[in-house]
Every structure is written in C-alpha cells, then in structure tokens.
Structure 1
Amino acid sequence: MSLLLIVSILWALSFGLTAQVSGLGAPFVTAARTLLAALVFLPFLDVKGLSRGQVLAFAGIGALQFGLMYLLYIASFRWLQSSEVALFTIFTPLFVTLTADLLRGRFSWLFLLTAALAVLGTGICVWSGLGRKGILAGFLLMQGANLCFALGQVLYRRLAPASGKRDRDLMGLLYLGASAVAVAMAAPTIPWAKVAAMDSRQVAVLVYLGVVASGLGFFLFNAGARRTDIGTLAVFNNMKIPLAILASGLVFREAVDWPRLAAGGAVIACALGLNGLSGARP
C-alpha cells in the first residue's frame, strides 16, 4: 500500500505541472512522457524465458493501460473542462473492482462497496455541478479511458506473477507498447515550432512528467497493484484527486474548498478502513 501512496503523491503534483506544458499540445506531451518512461526502463528489460505470447501480452497491456488510455483521456478535453475530466476519473475504482471480479468469475460486495465509497469521497472533493449541453461525449470518452487504465492494472496483476519476472524486468515492454500508440497519435500533429522554442523550465517539466510521474509512477503503481488486494487498489485509484487538490492549495497557491476536501478525504479514509477490516490479501 505504501507504493500506491507514494505514486498518489507524485501524480498529485503532476496536475499543476502538466498545465505548464499544455501549450505544446496534448499529443506531443503524451508521446514525450511515454518515450521518456520507456527510455528509463529499457536498460532493465529482460524478456529471457518469456514466450512470444507473453511479450506481446505485456506490450498490449502497456498500449491499453497507458497508450489508449491517454488517447481517450486527451480526446475528452474537446468537450470537458479540466475540472470535469478530474471528476469523471472517479469511476475508475468501480471499473477496477468489476473487471477483477469478471476475470475471477466471482463477485465481491465488500470490494464493490469500498470502490463506491472511494468514488463518493472523491466526488465530494471535486464536484462542481454539471449541466452543460454536449457533455455526454466527453463523459463516455473518460469512461473509456478509465476502463483502459483499470483493465490494464488488473491484467498486469494477473499475468506478472506467472511470468517469473520482477516488475522492472517487464515495465520496458509496457512502455514500448504505450509509446507505439502515443507516437502514432502524435506524429501527424507535432507543433515543431513550439517544440523548438521550449525553454529550460518546460524541458525540466517534461523530464519530470516522463521520468518521474509516468516512468517511476506507473512502475510503482503496477508494482503496488501486484502486491495488494483489489479493494485497496480501487481506493488508491482515486487517492490522487484529493491529494492533487491539496497540492493545488499548498504548492501552487490555488483556491481550495478546504471543508469539502476534508469531508471527501474522510470518506476515502473510511473506504480504506473498511477494506482493512476485511483482512483481504493480494
């Protein structure tokens, strides 16, 4: 669980930093992040002993969990404001729980309740009231992104132990799969003039987002997913959102509704407590 908490903090800080490079275009930023993450873990890549099917499976998980997820996530900004995108990520825990149950062929009411509490707590933190027309398309795109991220976690959690490999041995494959999807999307639309005019601050932010937030972050998140139960994994899928609001107020000096944050955080803490009482294990 400590790994998932570390990642939640890393991702909470990345929200404010991403805004500083958004002018470079979402496709380019996504491709840069996944390629940098791939470069970090390629030296550790070890496919010895893996079948061709296993190699393709892990690359496919990366393409799904990171690459396709980003495609759908970015596309949703055409219809949604950033706060609405954040709000619609709260359904990821439900997808984690439901996909895990479907793959196991059994249903856990406790894990579903834990995920529902995580959704409720995060919703309290970020709900801003939605009533604008044309929001359905953005909502559906975000749910597609949530499903890709959730299914990738669950599949990795199921397949990685059987491979006999350490997490660092496999992550290069996942990032290569993600990079293939991201680069294919970005290639036709790269804003070369803006890229050439990047200042040192933007370069530093991109390196942080690629190496730390995406590279180290996804590595630790999948490693944590492999070592924890589905209920805890579901809760931590939303932990980054209240932490991001906290970082916005304390680090980036943005206005924050502190009573709402405290109320939502308390509900998420209840979800973790409920899951702990279950005595669940990986």
Structure 2
Amino acid sequence: MTLLWIITALWAVSFSLIGVYISGQVDDTIAVTTRMFLALLIFLPFWRPAPWRKSLRMMATGAVEIGLTYLFLYQSYHYLSVPELLLFTIFTPLYVSLFSDLLARRWPRQFWAPALLAVAGAAVIRWTDLSGDYWIGFAFIQAANACFAFGQVWYRQQSMGNPLPHRARFAWFFLGAFIIAGSAMLLTADWSKLPATPVQQGVLLWLGVVTSGLGYLGWSYGSTKVSAQQLAVMNNMLIPAGILVNVLFWGGHIEQWPRLLLGCACLAAALWLCRKRTPAPSRST
C-alpha cells in the first residue's frame, strides 16, 4: 500500500504539469507517443521472449491501460479544468469494481442508480455553464477512467502464475502502448505543435521516464499486493492530492465552492451506493 501512496503523490503533480505546460501547446498524440517511447526505452533491456498469446495479452493491456487512457485523458484537458478533470476521476473505482466482477464472472447489478446520481453530481458542479463541450470533456475522462480501470484489473489477473518479472512484462506492456499511441499520432498529429521549448521537452522527459515508466511499474506491482477493493479506494486518493497540488503550486482556482461541495457529495454518494450494493470483489481477481 505504501508504494501506491508514493505513486499517487507522483501522479498528483503530473496532472498539473500536463495542464500547464503541454495541453494546447504540444499535439496530444505527439505528447502521448513521446511518453510511451521514453518509457519503452527504460524496459527494453529487460525484455524477455514469451509465448505469443501471453505477449499479445501483455501488449493489449498496455495499449488499453496506458495508450488509450492517455489519448482520452489529453483530449479531456481541452474541455475541463484540472480540478474538474481530477474530480471526475472519482468514477474510476466504479469501473474497477465493475471489471473485477465481470472478469470473475459475477454479473454486477443495480448500477443504474449510482450512474444517474454520478451524472447528476457532474451537472451540479457546472449547472450554470453546461455546454456541449463540457459533456464532451466529461465523456473523454470517463473513457480514460474505464480504460485505466480495465487495464489494472486485467494486469492483476494476468499476474497470477506469470513467471516473468514485472520489469520484463513492462517491455511488452509499453510496446503495446507505443503502437496504439504511435498509430494515432501518424493518423491525426498536428506536426506544427512539436515540443519545441526546453521546458516542454523536460516535462515530457519527466512524464515519460518517471511518471509513465517508473510510475506505472510501481502502481501495477503495488496493485498485485492489495485486494481489488483496496485498489479501488486508492484510485480515488489522487483526487484530493491532485486538486491540492494544482491550487497551491499552479494557482488553480475553484469557483462556487458550495456548488463544488454539493456535486462532490453526489459523486461520493454514487460511489458509496455502488459499493454497498455490489458484492466485494474476491482476491482471485
């Protein structure tokens, strides 16, 4: 659990780094592909061959948990502020519980009430400023949450009986992430938005080597040492940490605190309702 706390603090800083120095200045797909390439370079020396089915599963896990997650995440920065983006990651534990149940072949029930309550909480936060752009951003961050949650649960499941050490798995893991991000870059990149300044290049170097490479290795390894329920809880610890970092160090501003608190209450109630009515995931996930 200690390792998960360390990675949470690391990622809390990274959200603001992306919002301040990368989003809108460097093309999203170029930024994501650069991060995946740098992380892949770290683990290539540890690469080991594996049966083709296991190799494809590890690559697919990386493609979903990191590649697709980051592609959706970077898009959401165009529509949401950093505090809003962090706030809406509160749904990730719902997805962790959902996918844990589905992969354990337990059909989750009564998810409609929490989902509606969660959407209501999102509406309360910006009720006077709801727009198509706002909901597009909300949809992007939910897609990122779902991909990240599915990848975590799937990685935990694959870790059972896998003789490869984590550092060797992550060579395959980031290869899959690099392929999906690189494909998106080749198809859609705006090549006029390259990381041109030393600050942008330094931030991407940090995000690729430390946040993505070492951070995801630590998180994925830590996720295998805790229960699925503990993992779901830790996914939400990033929210207060990230908002605090953004407000204290990057001048983030929260308007309408009462509305924000009411929206948070609705989101928290959705999370509590889902956990109350959903059987606790077993350790076999």
Same fold (TM over 0.5): yes
Q: Give the equivalent residue in structure 1 for 2:63.
A: 63
* 1:233 aligned onto 2:214: no
| Contact 1:33–1:210, Cα closer than 8 Å, also in 2 | yes
Structure 1 Cα separation of the partners of residues 143 and 98 of structure 2: 14
**TM, length-normalised to structure 2:** 0.78
Q: Give the equivalent residue in structure 1 for 2:160.
A: 161
Structure 2 Cα separation of the partners of residues 209 and 237 of structure 1: 19
Question: Of 28, 33, 49, which residue of structure 2 is paired with 1:26?
Answer: 28
| Contact 1:246–1:256, Cα closer than 8 Å, also in 2 | no
Q: Give the equivalent residue in structure 2 for 1:8.
A: 8
Number of residues of Structure 1 aligned to a counterpart in Structure 2: 260
Structure 2 Cα separation of the partners of residues 15 and 58 of structure 1: 26
Question: Of 242, 245, 267, which residue of structure 1 is paired with 2:243?
Answer: 245
CA-based RMSD of the aligned residues comes to: 3.4
Structure 2 Cα separation of the partners of residues 242 and 233 of structure 1: 16
Structure 1 Cα separation of the partners of residues 107 and 238 of structure 2: 26
Percent identical residues: 37
Question: Of 24, 41, 44, which residue of structure 2 is paired with 1:42?
Answer: 44
* 1:213 aligned onto 2:227: no
Q: Which amino acid aligns with 2:176?
A: G
Structure 1 Cα separation of the partners of residues 192 and 208 of structure 2: 21
| Contact 1:86–1:241, Cα closer than 8 Å, also in 2 | yes
Instruction: Give the CA deviation at 1:253.
Output: 4.1
Structure 1 Cα separation of the partners of residues 74 and 202 of structure 2: 22
Residue pairs, 1:111-190, within 5 angstroms: 128-130=125-127, 131-134=129-132, 135-190=134-189
**TM, length-normalised to structure 1:** 0.79
Show CA shifts across 1:94-116 (max 9, x none). 0001110121134799xx9xxx8
Structure 1: unaligned runs, 5 residues or longer: none
Structure 2 Cα separation of the partners of residues 65 and 26 of structure 1: 17
- Higher share of residues assigned helix: 1
Q: Give the equivalent residue in structure 2 for 1:200.
A: 198
Instruction: Give the CA deviation at 1:281.
Output: 5.9
Structure 1 Cα separation of the partners of residues 21 and 213 of structure 2: 19
Q: Give the equivalent residue in structure 2 for 1:222.
A: 220
- For residue 81 of structure 1, give the secondary structure of its aligned residue in structure 2: coil
Structure 2 Cα separation of the partners of residues 205 and 63 of structure 1: 22
Q: Which amino acid aligns with 1:156?
A: Y
Q: Give the equivalent residue in structure 1 for 2:51.
A: 51
Show CA shifts across 1:44-66 (max 9, x none). 1223xx31100011001111111
- For residue 160 of structure 2, give the secondary structure of its aligned residue in structure 1: helix
Q: In the superposition, relative to structure 1, how do residues 15 and 145 fare at CA in structure 2: closer, same or farther (>3 Å)? A: closer
Instruction: Give the CA deviation at 1:252.
Output: 2.7
Instruction: Give the CA deviation at 1:188.
Output: 4.0
Q: Which amino acid aligns with 2:33?
A: A
Structure 2 Cα separation of the partners of residues 81 and 245 of structure 1: 13
Q: Which amino acid aligns with 1:231?
A: Q
Instruction: Give the CA deviation at 1:20.
Output: 0.8
